[in-house]
Chains A and B, each alone.
Chain A
Amino acid sequence: MEEQNDSKMEDKKKEAFRVGLGVLILLVVFTLGEYWIGSVASVWWAPLLLIAALKAFLVVRDYMHLPRLFAGEEASE
């Protein structure tokens, strides 16, 4: 029973690590996109701000775990 719980916990951890890595990859792609836009067309401020907002959304949702705030006392991970 304990082994089963450990294995479950390990799977949950691996899944959380995978989500974290996925977010990092997206952040890197968006940042390189921003850099490219800023290099070739620095007057395109609207797409740059939109990309920044998307990046911030990802960090707030997946790294800062904003939904925990509304989950009450049960949220721990």
Chain B
Amino acid sequence: MTAHTSTLAEYQRKTAANRLGLWLFILSDAFVFAGLYVSRFYLLGTGSRPEVNQLVGLIVTSVLLLSSFFMNRAETAMAHGDRKTFLNGTLITLILGTLFLIGVVGVEWRIAPFGPGDGAAASLFYAMTGFHAFHVLTGVIFLAVVYRNGRKGLYSAERHWAVEACAVYWHFIDVVWIFFYPALYLIGSAVH
């Protein structure tokens, strides 16, 4: 066994342990989101929802789903040694993530006809979207770091754990929104 293969085997062993750690973190974070999700149904039931713009909801949801597609494309490209597609995919994901943030915090929060203190529906809306937006912001920063390191050529087809971790984290943010979207924008009649 050469020194190179030995080091690669060690890297793969560490990656397997890192992967488990990341999923444990995601599971624990998911419980916090689940708490907010359950609170929404406990306080508002299935008959009412915050008075929000459904079209804006559809647009930001589409942007986030599209970002997940490009993140997956970027990660797949890196796993196959295609650095150019990886960099393009990461950059597009970063831009779409920023657009999502602008859509929720810059547009939806601004046009919402209520403030955070205007009742249960309003409080839940700001808590759920705010907590999620904070995760998106963290993901965008993570993406920027991965993009910068990718440009420096720090990843290869065999060694790209940071890319995989970034992708899994980003998709997790997407999964959370997949559940939040109908809960906030679609289920029940709008209440102020």
Contacts and interface: CB of A to CB of B under 8 A. Distances in A.
Interface of A: 9-10, 12-13, 16-17, 20-21, 23-24, 27-28, 31, 34-35, 37-39, 42-43, 45, 48-49, 51-52, 55-56, 59-60, 62-65, 68-69, 72-77
Nearest to B158: A76
A64 B171 contact: yes
Contact of B178 (A17, A59, A65, A72): A59
A42 B186 contact: yes
B38 interface: no
Contacts of A21: 69
7 contacts: A12-B80, A16-B79, A27-B65, A45-B182, A48-B186, A62-B72, A73-B13
Interface stretch (B54-62, B98-106, B121-129): B54-62
B172 A74 contact: no
A72 B174 CA distance: 25
Interface of B: 9, 12-13, 15-16, 19-20, 23, 46-47, 49, 54, 58, 61-62, 65-66, 68-69, 71-73, 76-77, 79-82, 158, 167-168, 171-172, 174-175, 178-179, 181-182, 185-189
Contact of B181 (A17, A24, A52, A59): A52
A77 B127 CA distance: 36
